[in-house]
């Protein structure tokens, strides 16, 4: 399982990755992608090593999710609404962006296939 995040979302991905491993025996790779432009400029081999096509992917993005679909993720968790104002943690919680939501989404996504990803 690959969890891709940018900025503050990376800490949620790390937390979820730890829970997936420790409580569910599911391996994950955390990818911090602060610049999709720079990532897109890399070689095909590099991109395939970092984000292999054959591995399930989830993207965690606090902003608009539309452009993330070009990476063929299985799930994009994000906020496609503008104008909310509150502390980051409150906004994330209100929109369901939390390590708990990430873990639940991964478990739902993998279903019976998660046995193939046990570490």
SS3 65: coil
Contact 56, 2 (CB under 8 A): yes
Tokens of 22: 């420790």
pTM of the predicted model as reported, rounded to 2 decimal places: 0.82
Q: What is the pLDDT of residues 15-36, one digit of tens each?
A: 999 999 999 999 999 999 999 9
* Number of residues in the chain: 119
| Cα–Cα distances in angstroms (integers) from residue 96 to residues 62, 99, 107, in the given order | 10, 9, 16
What the chain holds in terms of domains, given with CATH numbers, is 26-82+95-119 (3.40.50.920)
Mean pLDDT of 64-83: 79
Mean pLDDT taken over the chain: 84
Closest to 7 in 3D by CA, of 47, 34, 38 = 34
Q: What is the pLDDT of residues 50-71, one digit of tens each?
A: 999 999 999 998 777 788 889 9
């Amino acid at each position: 399982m690959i969890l891709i995040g940018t900025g503050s979302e990376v800490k949620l991905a790390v937390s979820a990755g730890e829970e997936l491993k420790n409580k569910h025996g599911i391996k994950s790779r955390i990818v911090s992608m602060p610049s999709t432009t720079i990532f897109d400029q890399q070689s095909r081999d590099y991109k395939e090593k970092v984000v292999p096509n054959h591995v399930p992917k989830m993207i965690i993005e606090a902003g608009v999710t539309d452009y993330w679909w070009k990476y063929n993720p299985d799930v994009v968790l994000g906020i496609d609404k503008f104008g909310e104002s509150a502390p980051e943690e409150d906004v994330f919680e209100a929109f369901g962006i939390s390590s708990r939501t990430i873990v639940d989404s991964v478990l739902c996504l993998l279903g019976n296939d998660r046995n193939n990803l046990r570490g």
